[in-house]
Amino acid sequence: MIPGRLVTIAIFVLGDSVYDPGNNDYLDIGIDGKANFPPYGETFFCFPTGRFCDGRQIPDFAGYPLKMYLAMYANLPIWEVIISPMELALQLNIRIQLGYLKEVANLLKEELGDTEAKNILENAIYLSSFGGVDYMAFINNTYIDFTQSKMEEYVKMVLGNLTEVTKEIDEMGGRKFAFQNVGPLGCQPELKQQYNLSDKACVEELQTIASQHNNALSNVTRELESQLSGFNYLSFDFFNALNDMTSHLEKYGFKVSDIASCGTGSRRGSDCGRSGESNVTWPLNMKQLYELESSADHEYVSDDGALFKDE
Ligand SMILES: *[C@@H]1O[C@H](CO)[C@@H](O)[C@H](O)[C@H]1NC(C)=O
Ligand SMILES: *[C@@H]1O[C@H](CO)[C@@H](O)[C@H](O)[C@H]1NC(C)=O
Ligand SMILES: *[C@@H]1O[C@H](CO)[C@@H](O)[C@H](O)[C@H]1NC(C)=O
Ligand SMILES: *[C@@H]1O[C@H](CO)[C@@H](O)[C@H](O)[C@H]1NC(C)=O
Ligand SMILES: *[C@@H]1O[C@H](CO)[C@@H](O)[C@H](O)[C@H]1NC(C)=O
């Protein structure tokens, strides 16, 4: 790639677990909401980073051109903003994330002055992925009495928030947006297992609400474009991109798409990295053995490293 003129020197990422590089580590939530143990991270970072995957996420890749530019133009200002883990709220919802973004904007103004800060904010890319977790929670809570009108109302609420937040970012000076839509949620091994579905089947209600969201999102971006002057955007059709991968596995070098790569259950859909089959290792599994604090009060290694036995 021959680089053109560098304009964007910051990418601000907002989203749910699909984009989370590890904020969940700092949240006071159960192990189901965490990814800070193996095998998460094993193929790229070689340690768990808190990303819910074995390697990198889309924002990691989206940031590469910027990293390349930064390496080429070494005199660019580079700053980092670190929000103290103590400040992280229980639920990092879209509003709270917007609040953090505003803090960052204020810091930029303090450090670089209004003109430079405005320049950075106007040329930054605001990359977001919202909705998946909301819809999974929605289906879980309304599966029994799921109705078309409840679904439409819920989608409206999710996109209402996304619209409001986008407008506020526009007011802050944001002009370049990248929106990822919601993936084929109902086809995830975890969900297929939970609803006891056969190989080709997916949770219909989840597929329907995901499509509903994605169609409505296209409308939302068109409306924003007509309402906000200077609004530029791209939409990433994650739903169809992922569907294409799972329905043409060989083309992408995969063999299986309806069974998770780790975990237990019919589709290895739960407890990834957490259990060893008790019919294979017993009475403890490897993890338990690693974590076992021996209760004996003798020591096997002295301060100078020499081995000794207690009497
Ligand atoms: C869905 O609900 C069940 C209980 O009804 C609960 O065990 C499970 O954790 C819930 N899953 C999600 C993703 O909220
Ligand atoms: C945003 O979401 C909240 C629930 O978290 C909801 O009460 C509110 O109506 C939504 N806003 C819009 C504009 O839809
Ligand atoms: C899952 O479905 C199969 C048949 O499709 C059935 O034999 C099995 O009992 C079901 N399991 C649960 C937990 O519903
Ligand atoms: C999107 O807009 C079109 C017309 O512009 C409308 O017919 C359709 O119902 C809208 N879809 C959603 C999901 O809001
Ligand atoms: C252990 O149990 C799992 C199911 O929980 C089964 O799939 C597996 O074949 C069993 N392993 C052996 C060695 O029996």
CA–CA separation, 175 and 172 (whole Å): 9
Ligand nearest to the CA of 197: 3
Tens digit of pLDDT at every position of the chain (311 positions): 555 677 887 889 999 989 988 888 888 888 888 899 989 999 999 999 999 999 999 988 888 777 777 666 655 554 444 455 444 444 778 998 999 899 999 999 999 999 999 999 999 999 999 999 999 999 988 888 889 999 999 999 999 999 999 999 999 999 999 999 999 999 999 999 999 998 889 999 999 999 999 999 999 999 999 999 999 999 999 999 999 999 999 999 999 999 998 898 999 999 898 776 677 788 888 778 888 888 766 555 555 656 555 44
CATH of the domain at 234: 3.40.50
Residue minimizing CA distance to atom 8 of ligand 1: 140
Q: In a mutational test of the pocket of ligand 5, which residue from 268, 277, 280, 282 has the highest number of ligand atoms less than 8 Å from its CB?
A: 277
Query: 5 in a domain, yes or no?
Result: no
- Whether 2 maps to a domain, the answer reads no
**Closest residue (by CA) to atom 4 of ligand 2?**
157
In a domain, residue 3? The reply is no
37: domain range?
11-310
Ligand 1: residue whose CA is nearest its atom 14: 137
Task: Calculate how far, in angstroms, residue 219's C-alpha sits from the geometric centre of ligand 4.
Answer: 6
Question: How many angstroms is it from 279 CA to the middle of ligand 5?
Answer: 6
Pocket test for ligand 1, best of 140, 191, 196, 271 (most atoms within 8 A of CB): 140
Residue 65 covered by a domain: yes
| Total structural domains within the chain | 1
Ligand nearest to the CA of 193: 3
Query: Is the residue at 47 inside a domain?
Result: yes
Is 6 part of a structural domain of the chain? no
pTM for the full predicted model:
0.83
Give the number of the ligand closest to the Cα of residue 135: 1
- On whether residue 240 sits in a domain, the answer given is yes
Residue nearest atom 6 of ligand 1, based on CA coordinates? 140
The answer to whether residue 4 is domain-embedded is no
